[in-house]
Structure 1
Amino acid sequence: MRWPRATAPAWPVHAVTAALIAGAGAAYALAGPGGRPAIYTLVSVLPIITFLAALASGHLPDRRPWLIAVVGLVLLFAGQLGWPGWMNEHHLGRAQGSMLDLMQSTAHTFFLVGTAMAIRRRARSDPAGIIDAALFGLCAGGPLWEWVIQPNLPAAATPLGETLLLADLLVLGAVIGCLLRLGAMARPGRGTLGYLLVTALLTLVSTVTGTLSTDVGSGWSTGLMLMAYLTIAAAPLAPDAPAMTVPVPRTGHVAGRQRLGWLAAALSANPLIAAVQVVRGSESASLLLPVGTLLVVPLVLLRIRHLSAQRDRAERTLAYHATHDELTGLYNRRHIAAEIDRALAEVQRGTLDEVTILLCDLDGFKPVNDRYGHPAGDAVLKAVAERLTATVRRDDLVGRLGGDEFLIVCRGTLGPDAGDLPARITEAVRAPFPLPEGVVSVGVTTGLAQAGPGRAADRDLLIGLADAAMYAGKAARGGDARRVDAAP
């Protein structure tokens, strides 16, 4: 089967779907009691065919979410084959607790899990918004249950049937909330999202209608379910269906006090309704609160986990920026100063035999900025940072003091490296830098200062000695390192 591209118009899918809805509705209305189950069975198998065809053709690239949804559709079809007259005999929304009720609830669970996986992939940039939307939708089912569904349940309703029906209503509300949130995030994939949203709404309204209807008016519920099957069958046929599981950039705002306030109000709805029912002496309060809580608690835990992860990431980011240079990623002046103080304190205690600092100042860097601009200069500074890090030992610290000045802290005796390290730094930095604007070269002058037992010094003195050695090197115009030891 050849599928339309994402840029193809969606109106042919809409037109075919509308025609099928009209044709199936007319056929169902005109058919007698013996023919209606056959029409309903044919309609219920249609979404299985369209999803499998879309998966086989590669139109739905992320297979797992849709395969899980197909399992749910297959269960619904199997239930229709096993109990062909179930929908026509007015059982939907009656909370009878039959085997088909359990089968239908399980099928809905499979389909909703698949949809949740697709939602999770699409909304990676806004998981908090999706969780909040699910909580809003789930909590909105409480008033619907207490004020519309439960008072109109038949006397034959069983506790198991009521539990399954209530769970279905609450989960449908959560999915509707998530789909609305996804539709507000980005335009790609809205065609498939729209069909899934209409399917969820039709299923919800069909269930409510089944509860409120009498035997004579039960055709409304069946007709709405026929429409739900046909709209979900159209979902994988939409040209933009592949975008349904593609992550979209975040467009919403960070949760503030107002949004959290509404969330708190939504979470308080079901307990408040249950409390009112207890005061009134209603037995239904014993069902809403536990079932609603079982569904709300996992979402609340996910929200708390997300907030905790956000806090941990923020703390790590703040800690990183407090100790690192923003441009090069090297340690900043504050952290390098603290490390020098710590190393000198260890020297004084006798736990460290020596500390060496190398102050590196680039030569010829200003012409690069003047000729090629600051972006080119920033690229050179980043490259110099990488070369310095690659030249020193693994445990040595490389930092940027600012501008084109770098400082290296070496803990412990350098040994033969004391004379070789500055030369290696000079050789590494002098290598040409290929830039989009052209190839540039800069030099470096290094000043070295050391402190050890019998050569005590504080940080300012040690840096001052390295700075003096570096300027002496510049004055000599050779770029060679100059070494100054701390005075005994």
Structure 2
Amino acid sequence: MRWPRGTVPGWLVHTGFLGLLAAAGTAYALAGPELRPVVYTLVTVVPIVTFLVALASGHLPDRRPWLTAVAGLVLLTAQQLVWPDWIAGPHLGRAEGSLTDLLQSLAHTLFLVGTAAALRRRASADPGGIIDAALFGLCSGGPLWEWAIRPALPADASPVGQVMLLGDLLVLCAVAGCLLRLGMMGRPGRGTLAYLVLTAVLTLASTVTSALAPGGIWSAELMLAAYLTIAAAPVHPDAPAVTVPPRADGVAARQRLGWLAAALSANPLIAAVQVVRGEGSSSLLLPVGTLMVVPLVLLRIRLLSAQRDRAERTLAYHATHDELTGLCNRRHIAAEIDRALADLDRGELDEITILLCDLDGFKPVNDRYGHPAGDAVLKTVAARLAAAVREQDLVGRLGGDEFLILCRGDAGVDPSELRDRIAEAVRAPIPLLDTTVSVGVTTGVAQARAGLGADRDLLIGIADAAMYAGKARRRDDVTLR
């Protein structure tokens, strides 16, 4: 079964959402106390239906995360069936610490875990930005709790209930910040992300409204709207694109460490304001908020450390390797020769062998087929040279079409045999786009043994002289023929 995209455009989803919102809001407002729980329960079933239909039709490619979110929605519906007056009565946002509060927190946790799993691939394009957005959300939730919800809590609010309510509030704020950041990454998926953001905002608004005006109708109306917004998210045409990472050029790569400072200082600043105003500093925000901020800050620091380590490894690699072929560059191969000579002097090696290789017939290929073809030939030759020697031997590119091989200790075979093996490997045909080419190689060999006191320049000079002597012999052979 395929999702009928052509018959479910975005405007139809928006129209259906607004129509259901108007119908459900009106029905709830006009219904009596006996029928309002029925209306509310029916609305809680709507997102479960839309999620299951989208999953059954294949519209949502990653099934497991969305099924986790469905489990949370089912738990909320079960809560409504068991305690039908929980929303209609003055219970939401009152920090009672009851089983219903626990079930709501658990349901929100399941839904948020499912949403996070569904968005993990998109978030992987900018993990630092996502963590910063979560920290911003946590920071914004602190003042909302401290100066809006906590003063309105009843005197008999239990400490456990306050912890659950505060944790729920901060998590919703963090998720709203993450969803906003995800929507800023790129156009694909923004429709679904907008509905998810609206769901988090409406849930927060319903909780705050219920805390400020217990038993009021507006808290239930806002929660009904939250259920309908999350019901529209999976059926929106953008839903499949939510799990697809955006293009690299659509992600803002600049990272701001100011959010770390804000996250670490927000809760202590609120506590300081409380002390200045004579309110004391016994609020749960400082311990609970800090416990939620610290893991994110540590994760952000770990991410920065990993980025720095990757950058250092990249710089070290480019400093020692040839950009085109991936072989050691001139500086690195020279340092390795010096290190091998030092080991030779200390008696840790018996001998070292240097093979200086210069390609024959490379310039005509480069001139006739262009530099891209020449680069392809150089990369192929580099791979063949690396395959022709032992794993412990070092192959480097000196520049142009010159290569150098360093064999530490016994070369494993006679140098002349190794030279013939290299020549055979290099002269094999090299496929290009619509043709094949062949190049040859002339190799000069130089060896140093313990006690001879050779240095790098001398060894390379001997190998270079032997290489040019080989080229001269080849030219003489061609002239005689």
Determine the structure 2 residue equivalent to 1:381: 378
Q: Which residue of 1 aligns with 2:466?
A: 469
Q: 1:237 is paired with a residue of what secondary structure?
A: coil
Q: Out of 358, 361, 376, which is 1:361 matched to?
A: 358
Q: Is the 8 Å Cα contact of residues 91 and 214 (structure 2) preserved in structure 1?
A: no
**CA–CA distance in structure 2, aligned partners of residues 111 and 456 of structure 1:** 73
CA distance in 1, matches of 2:232, 2:71: 17
CA separation of 1:352 and 1:142: change in aligned 2, threshold 3 A: same
Shift of residue 245 of structure 1? 1.2
Q: Which residue of 2 aligns with 1:50?
A: 50
Kindly state the Cα deviation for residue 431 of structure 1 after the two structures are TM-superposed: 0.8
1:437 CA displacement: 4.3
Taking the TM superposition and a 5 Å limit, the aligned residue runs for 1:364-443 are 364-414=361-411, 416-443=413-440
**Structure 1 stretches lacking a partner, 5+ long:** 481-488
Question: Are 1:174 and 2:171 matched, yes or no?
Answer: no
**Bigger Cα displacement from structure 2, 375-384 vs 8-17:** 8-17
**Do the aligned partners of 1:50 and 1:237 also contact (CA within 8 Å) in 2?**
yes
Distance 1:134 1:7 in 2: 36
Match of 2:228 in 1: 230
Q: Where does residue 486 of structure 1 map in the other structure?
A: none
Maintained 8 Å contact 2:126/2:253 = no
1:211, distance to aligned residue in structure 2 (A): 0.9
Q: CA deviation at 1:207?
A: 0.7
Report SS of the residue matched to 1:331. Answer: coil
Contact 2:88–2:220 under 8 Å retained in 1:
yes
Correspondence for 1:483? none
Deviates more, 1:30-39 or 1:151-160: 151-160
**Shift in Å, 1:57:** 2.2
**What do the CA deviations read for 1:117-170 (whole angstroms, capped 9, x no partner)?**
223221111100000000001110111111111112223322122111111111
Query: SS where residue 119 of structure 2 aligns?
Result: helix
SS of structure 1 residue aligned to 2:470: helix
Which position in structure 2 is the counterpart of 1:484? none
| TM-superposed deviation, 1:206 | 0.7
User: What's the Cα RMSD here?
Assistant: 1.8
Residue identity matched to 1:240: D
Distance across 2 between alignment mates of 1:2 and 1:203: 32
1:453 Cα deviation from its structure 2 partner: 3.0
Aligned partner of 2:217 among 219, 222, 230: 219
Q: Which amino acid aligns with 1:468?
A: A
Match 1:445 to one of 439, 442, 447: 442
SS of match in other structure, 1:476: helix
Distance in 2 between the 1:124 and 1:190 partners? 17
Matched, 1:457 2:454: yes
The answer to whether residue 312 in structure 2 is matched with residue 306 in structure 1 is: no
Relative to structure 1, the CA distance from residue 13 to residue 373 in structure 2 (aligned partners, 3 Å threshold; closer, same or farther) is same
SS of corresponding position for 1:347: helix
Q: Which residue of 1 aligns with 2:242?
A: 244
Distance 1:7 1:321 in 2: 53
The answer to whether the Cα contact below 8 Å between 1:120 and 1:127 also exists between their aligned partners in 2 is: no
Q: How many Å separate the matches in 1 of 2:31 and 2:132? A: 45
Q: Which residue of 1 aligns with 2:96?
A: 96
> Hey, what does 1:209 align to over in structure 2?
209
User: Aligned partners of 2:334, 2:139: CA distance in 1, in Å?
Assistant: 55
Partner of residue 185, structure 1: 185
SS across alignment from 1:286:
coil
CA contact (8 A) 1:140 1:266 kept: no
1:276 maps to which residue?
A: 273
Report SS of the residue matched to 2:436: strand
Cα distance in 1, alignment partners of residues 313 and 416 from structure 2: 38
Give distance in 1, aligned partners of 2:12 and 2:442.
Answer: 71
The answer on whether the counterparts of 1:128 and 1:306 sit within 8 Å (CA) in structure 2 is yes
For these two proteins, the number of residue pairs brought into alignment is 476
2-structure distance, mates of 1:342, 1:479: 38
Partner Cα distance (1:113, 1:415) in 2 = 58
Per-residue Cα deviation, 1:253-276 (whole angstroms, up to 9, x for no partner): 4445xx323541343121110122
Shift of 1:213: 1.2
Mean CA deviation greater in 12-21 or 56-65: 56-65
